[in-house]
Amino acid sequence: MKKILITLLVWANLFGAGQVGDKAVGFDLPNLYNLDKKISLNEYKGKVVLVNLWASWCGGCQEEMPIFVELQKEFKGSDFHILLSTIDKEPKNAVAFLQSVDRERVLKSVYDSEKILPKAYRCIGMPSSYLVDKSGTIVEVYVGSIDEKHVGKLKAKIKSLLGE
Amino acid sequence: MVKYILIGSLLFLTACSDKLVRVMPYEKEYFAQDKMSLSPIAERAEQEGHVYLIREASAGGESAFQGGCGCR
């Protein structure tokens, strides 16, 4: 009976959500704007990163994207970066949407055609954002879109992680 | 032994059904398309609603308001 319980616990842990405290899963995926080049999470080692899983067909993702553009502009020159990862079937749809809200290309996005990241991060809702600290540990998980009400708390958290 | 096999089989089948039914949020690209909406054309939905109300008025229409006497 003990063995059965242990097996069940292990399986529940494997498929469960909630990853605060876990190490962020590394990736090396094509740049959405230039599919021949790749962007790796390792490039952001020692920096605070907000990994955001999004898609152009997702309403919540469309709502929060202008907020991310403003957020990245606000932290320009700092060690905070927003790294998007789109799971669109057609990358051109993602590019078209992103360009409509981010003409200056402030945000960087990878193209995850195989939906590797949602599976690795055990995504339970779209959009999902994962705030990763300088040591590469997930410190906050945001399921659903980040709106104007919550962005204040997010900014405070980013500043504390940056040591400002 | 039979008991364990039964429990194991049940767990296995439950896991299978979950996998078959559950569509993960990141797999809903096609569901998000306009054509997948129950009423993709707003004008048509409004007209259908109007017809429905007229036809079903005696049964109380589509709301819980009033008793369905047909005297709207």
Residue A9 lies in a domain: no
The answer to whether A17 contacts chain B (CB < 8 Å) is: no
- Mean pLDDT calculated for residue range A136-153: 93
- Identify all chain B residues contacting A89, using CB atoms and an 8 Å cutoff: 29
* Interface with B, mutate which of A1, A54, A113, A126 (most B CBs under 10 A): A126
Residue A73 lies in a domain: yes
The answer, yes or no, to whether residue B32 has pLDDT greater than 70, is yes
pLDDT, mean over chain B: 76
- CATH no. for residue A82? 3.40.30.10
3-class SS at A132?
A: strand
Confidence class of residue A14 from pLDDT cuts 50, 70 and 90? very low
Report the pLDDT value the prediction gives residue A69, as an integer from 0 to 100.
Answer: 97
Report the pLDDT value the prediction gives residue A19, as an integer from 0 to 100.
Answer: 79
Residue A1 lies in a domain: no
pTM, to two decimals? 0.75
Report the pLDDT value the prediction gives residue B45, as an integer from 0 to 100.
Answer: 83
Residue A144 lies in a domain: yes
Report the number of distinct structural domains present in chain A: 1
Report the pLDDT value the prediction gives residue A73, as an integer from 0 to 100.
Answer: 96
Contact A58 B24 (CB under 8 A): no
Report the pLDDT value the prediction gives residue A16, as an integer from 0 to 100.
Answer: 47
The answer to whether A126 contacts chain B (CB < 8 Å) is: yes
Residue A105 lies in a domain: yes
Strand order in the sheet with A28-31: A34-40, A28-31, A108-111, A80-86, A48-54, A128-132, A138-143
Q: Output the six-digit token pair for A97.
A: 């949407």
- What residues pair up with A49 in beta bridges, in sequence order? A81, A132
Contact B25 A123 (CB under 8 A): yes
Residue A127 lies in a domain: yes
Residue A155 exposed, middle or buried by CB count within 10 Å (0-12, 13-18, 19+)? middle
Residue A142: domain span: 18-162
Number of CB atoms found within 10 A of residue A1's CB: 7
Report the pLDDT value the prediction gives residue B40, as an integer from 0 to 100.
Answer: 74
Residue A67 lies in a domain: yes
The answer to whether A50 contacts chain B (CB < 8 Å) is: no
Residue A13 lies in a domain: no
